[in-house]
Structure 1
């Protein structure tokens, strides 16, 4: 009996000692435990999603490819599969599975080290988000304590939601939504039982059980998960058999990033980083809605590329991409990765033989023929000659030789015969296109160059270029508010200017011809430089600079008379902003790419508003729009008549054809195109705005115009129309040889026709003024 009492005393003492040790161990372990309350405000690194205006996805920005979704957006079987694989008693325990820990401890003791964890899903959440991944008993104890605490703080569904969104599943995919897209090209709500079981088998070791790297092991884990679901009674035997026999087709959901409108997407990324910082953009899960019309953007991208290729071809052959010795032929062909081809697709090919009639080429395991007819443009470049003056190539041997690697486009694909191909050439000349709704400010399309992957420099938003005559509407708008009318007569005659340093400047018209007394309307329609200089001199260059600023121009505007001819420097996007005042009736609006930004929790972070400023009277805006319509009907923009719609526009060409522009608009759509080299140099003879930029504008606009009803410019109440004699600028009489219907602000319309001796009485005909800026020499 005494022995029994002693034994019981030892037991009680042992219990107290164990309890004391346990309490001590608990307090020791919990001293530096991290706080877990932040899990209630779960904010993992999430991919930012950028969408077009119709909701189609443009692209993603992320460091970890994760898309946060609630349990309700996952297929129910997906949730069950992960529970079966990782923690079937999740909804029964209080954060820790003691039997599971005991089993793991026994296995670890037998193995002489930690080989199994026995963690619940709650513990895995704690481990991945609050603790280090090291395997130690100290970390395990902390994990258990935090798991119990977390279960008192969050609901089971909240913990499971965190787990299924946080877990890494291989292939750069975090969470079940990203994994569903990466492995099967579907959303988590669309996963089948077989697919869900495969994903649920990945958390144990994502790389070890990857279906891409280890399909056999992935299959073993899938079968294990399916068996667990069956044994738990969560699926029927028939469902199990169907899932076991379901063939799995792997394939990632295509990432649309940088496919459509890459320059637009990059500008959106830049603006987001400026506003929210890189961490938020790459990990904040922002939902961004842009103003892009994806259909417009696709058409604009293709129009710009086609136009730049045609511009480059007009001035001859720049040579092959590279030349290979015979010993390098097979290496080049073996390295080619050719996918499916369609007519019109481009690819690089190896020239293996050349005759006068054409070249034979190889690509991959196929061959083709490039006929000399497709090389007719490929002469030796001569920028001093117009294309029609340079002649055509009729001998393929003058263009390519064996060993040359060249670009071709597919004309016809034949089964067992050489493909028919066309010689192509990537342009070195660059360009930009901006298209926007002038009423709302929404930028529908933005192209910043020929190929984003060749150069990420965005010429639409970053390139400051001289607009040439495309600046003249701004000059003439200031003139209309300072004593001129569309019927003013201004002298078109030689002028020589001497600046303060004694340097001489002798501006000329593009044609090199002087036309004498000229109607202001005609000076703008025909883009007469000397008339524009005289108008700017009388109005005052400071007045023109102020008008440019009022229109929103933020580029370079040096206060000298050459500014009137477009010597300033502006980005295409900024010049489009200035032009919005014409179709808007006098107010300019800031272009907008981003419409809204929403947090992953649905909080509205940003909603765009229209930024509008007064720039000119509505009558002035209408008169300029009317005159720019005549530029299209009778002037340098005549090619745009092909649209058969009311369109206004202005070409622009700088000295030596270094920059070519066309700015064209209707009440519902404004589009600007620029073409030129990144390093300023001549593009070639006659590469004017009408020849280089306008065809791109027409190609784009002709394809999008059917989406809009025909709409003309509406005159404001203060406008009157009058028939004007082109020779005198007075109201036209019955005997007028040439006359135009022109708009005037009420009260400024001209008087009836008078003799030539009265011309000097017209305020617009005066050539005086501006002498304080430059000395005028005749």
Structure 2
């Protein structure tokens, strides 16, 4: 500062005369003038560059926007009082979404002149003079938005507001604003001012009516506030309605129950502001202005009334399609903003924002949601579920506390059902059952609840990977003896142990647990990861779950949905290829443009050979295994049907999944167990669920037999190898040494199917997976007619029921003999092209090297059938630990799936239950 002052002083000292002063002053002025000119020029250049960059930015934002035609714009602008419509696969209408807004579209001539003037004066006084946008307003809004200074008006004309409401989402990005400006100018070019004004007045929201409903359009506002048509509104009423769109929730006179608010002063003040603007714009006289201000508007409001209730005919379907369509639109909105969906779901606040936008779109615009659901099949399945629901088990009634209100309420817990009918080839969900009573519970048990799959998971997670990797054939033997894996001690149904070696085929047919656990442990020891197969089939479990041996019995902490389980199971029918399931085929926007079409996703999971062998083995489940009742309960030929049962601990969940070449039908039953309850199914739930399954399958067959496609057999692919094996050991026939004598073992033979590998050579021990030395000794003692406990079923726990009784109440109740039930030549193989892959069983006596005969196993030794228990099998079981059967601290002891846990959250009830006891499997 001091230097500046010294410079000024020196400058004056240097002046020698007035002429000298004038010259220097002129020079200074010229310099200042040039600086100002250069600054102005620089500012102009900068402004020009800014405008150019802005225009370039706007162009970049809008260059990928498809330019709508006049007809497309007209459709969208006039699309009011509509909502998304849902359709069956054949195009029949299911339902239109229930609107958040009620309203009626009217023409501009049916609106009061006062109302039209009030809206223009309040919202856009230059409406009849501009070309859709006002540049100075946009500039003011941009500066305000950047600096945060001034009113956040947005600079929107009535044309822009109409475009935003009818043609764009409610997002507030720069891109949307640029597109809004672009479309507003285009709308102004093609449509008259009266057309645009009518579209705005029909589309804008005006708060609530006297029934508490949200209203859209001036006709609904006039009717809902004053009980008259929009054409009959007086000046004061028109001004009040015109003031509502700026902030409907604040200015509306009614609350959510249709009652007049205690304080409506803000709405009345807003009405006066509208009247003043009309007077300022010379739309009304001073006398009209003063008279309208004095009008007693409060006494003009309607008294509260009740809204008419509406019912939804296909409740579960309505909710499912709405939810999936909403997700599709959320993904689309996020993608348009450059946001990945997987990142969006991690941000709760951002997700809620897009959720609201998508939900508003669906409930207020005429989207069309096309589904894969076959109406006749959907109706048929649900009719059977409704007719049979009272047979599924007891409906429990109890007192509970509503988690939302804290009040004591009466609740009833029926046995729920979730079922899915899937087209194997396309992945289309043709029909489903979401539950037994939509009015009482909106949770979709087919899509949204995660439950323990019980033993229905065994072929997916254990047996198919074992066959795929050449570790077993269909007749490979698995140990079913008392065993323990780091304190984890599985048992079969009813806490039983079979005390014998059981073939892989019979293990699946009768759903034994101990052999399955032995096999799962075996494949893990050989480096086979079930995870890679399961994830390809759409089932995602944690590493911790895969590390627990009980996972092969359905012991999951997360559980699976009925849709997931049905889809995974269909992989076998599809020759090892998994096709992703879907229920929404296409979504079109209000202009008719398709914004989503399902694209099939296929993944090779297993080879054709493995899939064929699994189908062949699972066919035995429905011919003589745990689902053999289906053979006589089904109205169609079951020779090409295969399936699997599943039951979790204490009859908490029960499953049956059945497939033919054409379809997969999965049925689950169980209690939701909300409010902390712990209800279980009855002990005969396996039979009940199978009967329900057969009723639904029969109804499907009656409606369209081609869906079941019961007559199409499964062709045996090349590469499936058949080996003649000893039925008792699963190995090649041969000789063994027993008590110093070499004996030939070939009394019973059968066929074992392999994809990779081959049967082992006959040996005294190590022919069965999970077998121990004492187990082999017991087997051979029994085989050669010596005293042995082999095949004598042991029951643990305090059950006083015989194994026969347990078998009858939990399974299909038939008695099996040794290895595949009998020594007859009956086969459970699938017939393929008029030939069977099975071979008849050859009976012969076991002989020693010196030519003398031995008794062999005979009928008593084959399965221990001489004991009182026999070998009857069922469809449930349990696991135990030495100290505490319900302990969950043991790392080897898995948990079952969450009972009643719904990801949809659509029920007013909350909670659910996780069973921490080990799974029973089946």
* Distance 1:44-1:726 versus aligned 2 partners, 3 A rule: same
| CA apart distance, 1:596 | 0.9
Q: Secondary structure at 1:480's aligned position in 2? A: helix
| CA apart distance, 1:437 | 1.0
Q: Measure the CA separation in 1 of the matches of 2:85 and 2:103.
A: 11
Aligned to 2:320: 264
2:511 to 527, 534, 548: 527
2:608 to 605, 618, 634: 618
Q: Measure the CA separation in 2 of the matches of 1:705 and 1:732.
A: 45
Q: Does 2:475 match 1:479? A: no
Q: Measure the CA separation in 2 of the matches of 1:450 and 1:559.
A: 36
Aligned to 1:681: 678
Contact 2:725-2:750 at 8 Å conserved across structures: yes
2:100 to 63, 67, 70: 63
* Structure 1 residues 2-47: Cα deviation after superposition (integer angstroms, max 9, x where no partner): xxxxxxxxxxxxxxxxxxxxxxxxxxxxxxxxxxx99877375541
1:295 to 376, 380, 404: 376
Aligned to 1:517: 501
Q: Measure the CA separation in 1 of the matches of 2:378 and 2:188.
A: 52
Contact 1:60-1:257 at 8 Å conserved across structures: no
* Distance 1:53-1:158 versus aligned 2 partners, 3 A rule: farther
| CA apart distance, 1:513 | 4.2
Q: Does 2:488 match 1:491? A: no
Q: Measure the CA separation in 2 of the matches of 1:505 and 1:581.
A: 31
Aligned to 1:668: 662
Report matched runs for 1:411-490 at 5 Å.
428-474=414-460, 475-482=462-469, 483-490=471-478
Q: Does 2:595 match 1:608? A: no
Q: Secondary structure at 1:663's aligned position in 2? A: strand
Report matched runs for 1:218-617 at 5 Å.
258-259=314-315, 261-269=317-325, 271-272=327-328, 274-275=330-331, 276=333, 277-313=358-394, 318=396, 428-474=414-460, 475-482=462-469, 483-499=471-487, 505-510=489-494, 512-540=496-524, 543-556=529-542, 557-568=545-556, 569-617=559-607
* Distance 1:506-1:469 versus aligned 2 partners, 3 A rule: closer
Question: Which structure's relative contact order is higher, taking Cα pairs within 8 Å and 6+ residues apart?
Answer: 2
| CA apart distance, 1:591 | 1.2
Q: Measure the CA separation in 1 of the matches of 2:466 and 2:643.
A: 18
User: Where do 5+ consecutive residues of structure 1 fail to align?
Assistant: 1-36, 69-78, 88-115, 134-138, 180-200, 209-251, 323-405, 407-424
Q: Secondary structure at 1:651's aligned position in 2? A: strand
CA RMSD of aligned residues (A): 4.6
Contact 1:168-1:203 at 8 Å conserved across structures: no
Q: Measure the CA separation in 2 of the matches of 1:165 and 1:488.
A: 76
Aligned to 2:189: 153
| CA apart distance, 1:441 | 1.0
Q: Does 2:90 match 1:54? A: yes
Question: Greater shift after overlay, 576-585 or 57-66?
Answer: 57-66
Report matched runs for 1:91-106 at 5 Å.
none
Q: Secondary structure at 2:474's aligned position in 1? A: coil
Q: Secondary structure at 1:606's aligned position in 2? A: strand
Q: Measure the CA separation in 1 of the matches of 2:104 and 2:730.
A: 68
Q: Does 2:699 match 1:695? A: no
Q: Measure the CA separation in 2 of the matches of 1:521 and 1:463.
A: 31
Aligned to 2:22: none
Aligned to 1:401: none
Report matched runs for 1:93-172 at 5 Å.
117=113, 132=122, 145=129, 153-155=189-191, 159=195, 163=199, 166=202
Aligned residues: 502
| CA apart distance, 1:565 | 1.2
Contact 1:442-1:593 at 8 Å conserved across structures: yes
Q: Secondary structure at 2:669's aligned position in 1? A: strand
Q: Does 2:627 match 1:637? A: yes
Provide TM-score, normalisation by structure 2: 0.48
Q: Measure the CA separation in 2 of the matches of 1:615 and 1:158.
A: 62
Aligned to 2:763: 758
User: Where do 5+ consecutive residues of structure 2 fail to align?
Assistant: 1-69, 134-158, 160-186, 221-227, 238-307, 334-357, 401-409, 735-744, 774-890, 894-922
Provide TM-score, normalisation by structure 1: 0.56
Q: Secondary structure at 1:496's aligned position in 2? A: coil
Q: Does 2:720 match 1:719? A: yes
Aligned to 2:754: 744
Q: Measure the CA separation in 1 of the matches of 2:474 and 2:383.
A: 38
Contact 1:312-1:427 at 8 Å conserved across structures: no
* Distance 1:318-1:564 versus aligned 2 partners, 3 A rule: closer
| CA apart distance, 1:661 | 0.7
Contact 1:261-1:298 at 8 Å conserved across structures: no
